[in-house]
Amino acid sequence: MIKNDDWIASMAQNGMIEPFEPQQVRQLNEIPCISYGLSSFGYDIRLSASEFRIFRHIPGTIVDPKNFNPKNLEFTQLCEDESGSYFILPAHSYGLGVSLEKLEIPNNVIVICLGKSTYARCGIIANVTPAEAAWRGYLTLELSNSSSTDCKIYASEGVLQLLFLEGEPCKVNYDNRQGKYQNQPARVTLAKI
């Protein structure tokens, strides 16, 4: 069953989401922002300003998920203007960021991460990823710019919506099986096997 705002707020008080915003925030310092915080049946997380990396083609290299070369990723500078702080995701490129919020998922819940419509309407596609039962850490966020123009990806503003689905507690959770992405730090975590 999908969980509602009351359940999410209650679980956040017990450390499931930190920091937690108990309502939808639509302005920062009187400037409109891409909303974040609690919604009816989800929670909109923010992109951390700490780092954002984009894939760059290096002639002669291939991206290999079994042997990931960090040289294929380039740090992107945080920019700022009257609209806020942002990273530039170039046209037809792919970037990795990290969530501002730390998550601690209960043993009977799986979290699905979906893109926000504001970004989707600009050609930004969020890779749909799960946060499994008993997973802890900061999410590495995967964003693709399918448009033919560069796009601003705003830091400290909403970037993805989390949906919480509850089931019976699992026999072997992510923590029990020592999942490779457990306890992710507040930085981009590269592909592992």
Instruction: Render pLDDT for 31-86 as a digit per residue (tens, 0 to 9).
Output: 999 999 999 999 999 999 999 999 988 788 888 899 988 888 999 999 999 999 99
Q: Where are the alpha helices (DSSP H) in the chain?
A: 5-13, 117-120
Q: Parse the chain into domains and list their residue ranges.
A: 5-166
Token pair of 121, please? 């309407």
Q: Can you give the length of the chain in residues?
A: 193
The domain defined by 5-166 folds into Deoxyuridine 5'-Triphosphate Nucleotidohydrolase; Chain A (2.70.40)
Q: Which residues pair with 171 in a beta bridge?
A: none
From the list 142, 157, 166, 168, the catalytic residue is 142
142 is a catalytic site residue: yes
pLDDT in tens, 6-38: 999 999 999 999 999 999 999 988 999 999 999
- Cα–Cα distance, 125 to 100 (Å, whole number): 19
Report the predicted TM-score, pTM, of the whole model to 2 decimal places.
Answer: 0.94
Residue 69's pLDDT is 86
